[in-house]
Structure 1
């Protein structure tokens, strides 16, 4: 997890650092200052990125969840499996089927 920073920094300090030291914001300003892009270009890029993300999210949500038992497939080379693997709690213990 990233450092939330809110436990030992004020909101004003966080906002100041983001406005002056954020690499994405800094690059955006450099592109604008160099005349490489316009503010409208950046807005169009953001809009397109959000569209692509929303489309990918909708596609991912439409895919049915896989069977959790598949998580245990091909963990070991056949014939070298341990008899079982325990999960976070005893109830999550997975016993390998001998095939």
Structure 2
């Protein structure tokens, strides 16, 4: 079973520094739930290029019903620090089972 979709995301808050803090993530619900007990894999990919900095995508809490996703800028190198904020981008996703 394969499902696809897209979501428009932006990041108005700073980069997350504490593991497990998902308060700034967005919940995506699959159009149809996967079978109970299925191991679901989510592959996200940026579809647009609206901001000049590189957007980072984080996925968390993947279940048979959906997942959490967050957009933030990535740190390029030690000399260029990101504030984590990023303009709206369209993120496409593909979900499948193993």
TMscore range, shorter length: under 0.3
TM-score of the aligned structures, taking structure 2 as reference length:
0.18
| Bigger helix fraction | 1
Bigger radius of gyration, 1 or 2?
1
Identify, as 1 or 2, the structure richer in strand. Answer: 2
TM-score (norm 1): 0.18
